[in-house]
């Protein structure tokens, strides 16, 4: 979508019906959000990946509600048009429905998000139903679930065996039926993502799941070439890490030489 009207949840669902791809990038601050927003990206995802790319953690488990609210508010301030979706961090939605509802509500009320994303399939459908029934839009997330990194033994590709494939297809359908407005498919085989995309009416947003999804998401620091270790499926659209190193070196040289601007 390229006009200047703010993107709403129903617009995202309508894009699939029109056969239009959904563009999603992660954003964590107002400046980067403003740049992506002006480029016409449809959804800015305040991912809990911020624990890794901003805070240098090994995984996303240490990210708190306070982290998410603060970064979501920053992204919201930098955004005019894109739909802002905030990740619910680990343990903010798994312990009980009341706690999950309150935390999801805080991401909308205090963070200014328009929707939340939660990881998981069968175990999350009741929660998705509850949240959407009270007006909190939910993006689902299936396949590799970074918050379950210890359970699955690392950041590994999912859905390769027959049972796992069938389970993922059933979970995607269940999430759609529970009211999710879109579903992230992370690190699953291309043909499985294609099959899920065919079977659900809401947009699938792929990351490491091939070209047949209704949209694609990447972690912005990865695709901008700012992170050293990136998953093999990431295409780097810029080499900002290299450009930043060169800028810092040039700055240091000027300072040492006491050069005038």
CB of 258 to ligand KIV, least distance (A): 43
Cβ atoms of 78 and 37 closer than 8 Å = yes
Q: How are beta strands 138-143 and 115-117 bridged, if at all?
A: parallel
Is residue 207 at the binding interface for ligand KIV, with CB under 6 A as the rule?
Answer: yes
Residue 127 tokens, joined: 């929660």
Among residues 12, 36, 43, 48, the one that binds ligand KIV under rule CB under 6 A = 48
What CA–CA distance (Å, rounded) separates 202 from 204? 7
What CA–CA distance (Å, rounded) separates 109 from 90? 19
Instruction: Give the nearer residue to ligand KIV in terms of CB position, either 66 or 248.
Output: 66
Residue nearest to ligand KIV according to CB distances in the complex: 47
Is residue 219 at the binding interface for ligand KIV, with CB under 6 A as the rule?
Answer: yes
Instruction: Give the nearer residue to ligand KIV in terms of CB position, either 42 or 87.
Output: 87
Is residue 63 at the binding interface for ligand KIV, with CB under 6 A as the rule?
Answer: no
Stretch that binds ligand KIV, among 45-53, 78-86, 92-100, 188-196 (CB under 6 A): 45-53
Cβ atoms of 175 and 124 closer than 8 Å = yes
Residue 108 tokens, joined: 């909308």
Is residue 23 at the binding interface for ligand KIV, with CB under 6 A as the rule?
Answer: no
What CA–CA distance (Å, rounded) separates 261 from 111? 39
Is residue 217 at the binding interface for ligand KIV, with CB under 6 A as the rule?
Answer: yes
Is residue 47 at the binding interface for ligand KIV, with CB under 6 A as the rule?
Answer: yes
CA angle 241, 242, 248 (to 5 degrees): 90
Stretch that binds ligand KIV, among 41-49, 152-160, 166-174, 252-260 (CB under 6 A): 41-49
CB of 255 to ligand KIV, least distance (A): 36
DSSP state of 232: T
Residue 3 tokens, joined: 């006009």
Active site residue 176: no
Kindly state the number of chain residues that form the binding site for ligand KIV, as judged by CB under 6 A.
11
CB of 52 to ligand KIV, least distance (A): 8
Among residues 23, 49, 125, 147, the one that binds ligand KIV under rule CB under 6 A = 49
Cβ atoms of 46 and 74 closer than 8 Å = no
Is residue 65 at the binding interface for ligand KIV, with CB under 6 A as the rule?
Answer: no
CB of 35 to ligand KIV, least distance (A): 17
Instruction: Give the nearer residue to ligand KIV in terms of CB position, either 172 or 217.
Output: 217
The residues, ordered by sequence, that sit 6+ positions from 93 with a Cβ below 8 Å of its Cβ are 99, 100, 103, 104, 118, 127
Q: Pick the catalytic residue: 119, 171, 176, 186?
A: 186
What CA–CA distance (Å, rounded) separates 73 from 107? 9
Q: Tally the C-alpha atoms within 13 A of residue 96's C-alpha that lie toward its C-beta.
A: 3
Among residues 41, 184, 185, 223, the one that binds ligand KIV under rule CB under 6 A = 184
Most distant pair of Cα atoms in the chain: their distance? 66
- Chain positions contacting ligand KIV, by CB under 6 A: 26, 45, 47-49, 87, 184, 186, 207, 217, 219
Active site residues: 186
């Amino acid at each position: 979508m390229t006009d200047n009207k703010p993107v709403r949840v129903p617009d995202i669902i309508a894009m699939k019906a029109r056969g239009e791809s959904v563009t999603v990038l992660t954003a964590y601050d107002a400046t980067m959000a403003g740049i992506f927003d002006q480029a016409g990206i449809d959804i800015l995802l305040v991912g809990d990946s911020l624990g890794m790319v901003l805070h240098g953690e090994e995984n996303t488990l240490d990210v708190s509600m306070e982290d998410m609210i603060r970064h979501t508010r920053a992204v919201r301030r930098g955004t005019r048009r894109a739909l802002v979706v905030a990740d619910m961090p680990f343990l903010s939605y798994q312990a009980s429905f009341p706690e999950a509802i309150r935390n999801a509500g805080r991401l909308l009320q205090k963070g200014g998000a328009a929707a939340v994303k939660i990881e998981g399939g069968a175990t999350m459908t009741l929660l998705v139903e509850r949240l959407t029934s009270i007006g909190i839009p939910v993006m689902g997330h299936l396949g590799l679930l970074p918050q379950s990194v210890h359970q699955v033994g690392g950041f590994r590709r999912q859905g390769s065996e027959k049972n796992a494939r069938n389970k993922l297809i059933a979970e995607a359908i269940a999430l759609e039926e529970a009211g999710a407005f879109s579903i992230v498919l992370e690190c699953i085989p291309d043909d499985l993502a294609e099959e899920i995309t065919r079977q659900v009416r809401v947009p699938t947003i792929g990351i490491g799941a091939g070209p047949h999804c209704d949209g694609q998401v990447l972690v912005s620091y990865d695709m901008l070439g700012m992170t050293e270790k990136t998953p093999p499926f990431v295409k780097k659209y810029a080499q900002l890490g290299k450009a930043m190193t060169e800028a810092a070196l040039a700055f240091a040289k000027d300072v040492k030489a006491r050069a005038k601007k």
